[in-house]
Amino acid sequence: MKHLETEILIKGRPEQVWAVLTDFPRYPEWNPFIRQAEGDLRTGGRLRVRIHPPGGRPMTFRPLVRAARPGTELRWQGRVLLPGLFDGEHVFRMEPTGDGQVRFTQSERFRGLLVPLFPGSLYANTLRGFEAMNLALKDRVEGNR
């Protein structure tokens, strides 16, 4: 198993972060990591997501939405080929800090037989993509873009 996690503080309310995070048609305007997303944004729904990891090749996948709780959490499960080979659970969490900010956490837990065989650069590039997206989300929510 491999786990990646990043977090950032964003001035605003969880509902504001959620509104930007789930406005998929506007992703090309601001999101450097997830350039396209569309689909059924509800628990049990299926999405189509295209990521562009820095230094890596773009990938498109169709994850299953595991949780869609407005202002709190969006979580999806994706996989490569068959279950158990290379599965990833991606999580976005929004937690109010009590001082007019939101702690936004983005993480992914990779599991499966192929996880140890993928190069470390895949995980490093993915982490850099998370960080770039977090900064862009912060700018977007705070009105800097």
How many domains does the chain fold into? 1
| Tokens of residue 135, six digits | 């900064």
**DSSP state at residue 6:** E
Strand 59-61 relative to strand 47-51: parallel, antiparallel, unpaired? Answer: antiparallel
pLDDT digits over 32-84, tens only?
A: 999 999 999 999 999 999 999 998 889 999 999 999 999 999 999 998 777 78
CA distances from 59 to 15, 19, 54, 80, 98 (A): 29, 25, 12, 11, 37
Domain with 107, as residue range(s), is 2-141
Cα(15)–Cα(82) distance, integer angstroms: 35
| pTM for the predicted model, two decimal places | 0.93
CATH code, domain with 130: 3.30.530.20
φ, ψ for residue 67, nearest 5 deg? -155, 140
pLDDT digits over 75-98, tens only?
A: 999 987 777 878 999 999 999 998
